Structure 1
Amino acid sequence: MNNHYEVIICDIWGVLHNGKNYFPRAVKFLKDFIDKGGLVILLTNAPRRSKNVRDYLLKMGIDSGICQYIVSSGDCTFEWLNTLNSSPLYHLGPAKDNSLFDNIKINKVNFENCDDCICTGFFDEYNESIEDYESILNNLKERSITLHCANPDLYVNKGSTILPCAGLIAQRYEEVGGKVVYFGKPYSIIYDQVIKRANQILGKQISKKQVLAIGDGLYTDIMGASMNDIDTLFITDGVHKEQLDEYIGNSEFERNIIINFIQENNINIKMPKYIQRELDFFNYI
């Protein structure tokens, strides 16, 4: 990889860990790339600021060397929050995301009285469904409130459990006619930020041809990099694992089968340059 790329932009959840345990071979892959002179920037749709993401990764036991540079959708969200001043804001999301509001003055109110809304996820992703949010979304829609989504992901795998994310609420809000602003992948604003960060770290303008994006989300990681003319490595044993395992069945794990899956699901992306089950030094297809 070092012969072809100077920078790796790597997703976190689904590539480096599954929400419970980190993947040693993935960590070793990135550490080896850094040791050979490459730059790794972790890019995540976590609705938390990069410092909090780093603390989480270090607590999990991931090598500090690959956690040095992180850009999160929470960082992008925080920049927007700084523009609100005293505008009444409704936080649609769990208390665990309250670190997003650290060191900033926010006028939090209930949904009936807000002028702005930030969505970071389900209040209880283990026990709730999207139907539980109909009354809130309908109220916001009736008052033409824009919903700002801090995590465009629809679902995430935590171990063997599939959990809904803020993107699912935002998707539903659009379905009922509401307006949504997204922070994070696949939207260009976060890729502009990460390329800018790479240029600052390296002290030069980096060509996108020298950048590889690694991720497990076709609609976020791979689509976002594709829209920004960045080569991709698609990890199949992430958020799409269950769908892909059913699609592949007893067939061999081959590139043409994965490409067929992408095409049959009408996912409008430039096809991944590399495909692996999990991030490792070998077994690219």
Structure 2
Amino acid sequence: MAVPVLDSAGKLLARYDVLISDVWGVVHDGVWALPPACEALTRYREQGGAVVLLSNAPSPSEQVADLLDKKRVPREAWDRLITSGDVTRALIAESHHRKIFHIGWQSDRAVFDHADVELVFEDEADLVVATELNDYRTEQPEQYRPLLERFAARGLPFICGNPDLVVHVGHDLLPCAGSLALIYEELGGSVAYAGKPYRPAYDLALEAARSARGGHPVDPAKVLVIGDAVRTDLAGARLMGFDSLFIAGGIHRDETMRDGVLDPAGLEAVLAGSSVKPIAAMGALR
């Protein structure tokens, strides 16, 4: 059965109490906010709904909130924000490891602030945390294979601070830490994923939704996940038993969009290899 393609999401959104929305590819394009999406979320909140932004960004939520301000995403469009950085902090605390080798940008190191950990060189590490590639604009994941082979040979646990494989930055498609995690698993290493589509991220999102609703419980049947990635957003919704709305003009846009219009054949092809089926699809949230 074909997935319905919507021009406007208003009637669909009104059926739910809580929206758990992806950020990059739905609310902004990596450079600037997407005004129709922000307006849709703002109107939904004005009608009494709660919006939790759930991002695989590896930075803590307070840092990402400032970034959203700079990208001109209005605070009126969301109630709460949960990031992979928040989940990474929790996983590090649970691991009881204290000597960390970090792969990622210097700015990502905010996840280690106020934690009882030490960032060390390769030979001293007992835990690897990857938030990004060190420079995802110039590097490729395979360049890290020799390093990852050495860590896997030592049996070091690996926390992936951003399970996304790739992300659009404007018109560029660039690799994320999830691509390093796949290599590490291929090498026989153990990976803990801090973000979608894994349950710890959604547990935090539901806690945030309850808070936004004044402590009232959240009915899973009244939660809609909005996202642009089959592997993370749609799969996470399915894991949690939530409905999902697929935004085809995000990470899969080269496969699903033709001249700015959602191509049903492209949509079907993207979803064909997955057991995950959204209840509807749009080129962009509006």
Aligned to 1:51: 62
Tell me the amino acid that sits aligned with residue 179 of structure 2: L
Structure 1 partner of 2:92: 81
The whole-number CA distance in structure 2 between the counterparts of 1:84 and 1:183 is 13
Which of 218, 221, 244 pairs up with 1:209?
Answer: 221
Distance of aligned partners of 1:185 and 1:204 in 2 relative to their CA distance in 1, 3 Å threshold: same
Offset, 1:87: 2.1
SS at structure 1 position matched to 2:38 = helix
Comparing 26-35 with 104-113, which one deviates more in the overlay?
104-113
1:236 aligned partner: 248
Q: Within the alignment, does 1:191 sit opposite 2:202 as a pair?
A: yes
1:263-278 superposed matches below 5 A: 263=272, 266-269=273-276, 271-278=277-284
Which string of whole-angstrom CA distances, capped at 9 and with x for unpartnered residues, describes residues 155-205 of structure 1? 000000011000000011111221111111001111122112222332221
With CA pairs under 8 Å and 6+ residues apart, which has the higher RCO, 1 or 2? 2
1:55-204 to structure 2, matched below 5 A, reads 55-83=66-94, 87-202=98-213, 203-204=215-216
The answer to whether the 8 A contact 2:98-2:118 is kept is yes
Amino acid at match of 1:75: D
CA–CA separation in structure 2 for the residues paired with 1:255 and 1:213: 21
Deviation of the 1:84 alpha carbon: 5.5
CA deviation map 1:117-159 (0-9, x unaligned): 1110100111111221012101101100111101000000000
- Is the Cα–Cα contact under 8 Å of residues 100 and 120 in structure 2 kept in the other structure? yes
Aligned position for 1:227: 239
Deviation, 1:96, is 2.0
Is contact 1:85-1:105 (8 Å) kept? Answer: no
Aligned alpha-carbon RMSD (Å): 1.9
Q: Which amino acid aligns with 1:95?
A: Q
CA contact (8 A) 2:167 2:251 kept: yes
C-alpha distance 198-67 of structure 1, shift in aligned 2 (>3 A) = closer
- 8 Å contact from structure 2 (residues 60, 111) kept in 1: yes
Amino acid at match of 1:243: E
Contact 1:211–1:231 (8 Å) recurs in 2: yes
In the aligned structure 2, how far is the partner of 1:272 from the partner of 1:196? 24
Aligned to 1:261: 270
C-alpha deviation, 1:261, in angstroms:
3.0
TM-score by length of 2: 0.90
How many angstroms apart in 1 are the aligned matches of 2:238 and 2:94? 30
Q: 1:257 to 1:137 in 2, by over 3 A?
A: closer
- Residues in 1 aligned to 2:81 and 2:161: alpha-carbon distance in whole angstroms: 16
SS in 2 for 1:214: strand
Does the Cα contact within 8 Å between 2:91 and 2:194 map onto a contact in 1? no
Residues 249, 262 of structure 2: 8 Å contact kept: no
Residues of 2 paired with 1:153 and 1:24: CA distance? Answer: 24
- What is the total number of aligned residue pairs between the two structures? 274
Secondary structure of 2:268's aligned partner: helix
Task: Call closer, same or farther: CA 1:154–1:116 in 2, change over 3 Å.
Answer: same
- Residue 279, structure 1, aligned to residue 278, structure 2: no
Q: Which moved more, 1:95-104 or 1:13-22?
A: 95-104
Tell me the TM-score normalized by structure 1.
0.91
C-alpha contact (below 8 Å) 2:181/2:191 kept by paired residues: yes
Looking at structure 1, the residues matched to 203 and 116 of structure 2 have their Cα atoms a distance apart, in angstroms, of 27
Report matched runs for 1:24-39 at 5 Å.
24-39=35-50
Q: Which letter maps to 2:253? A: K
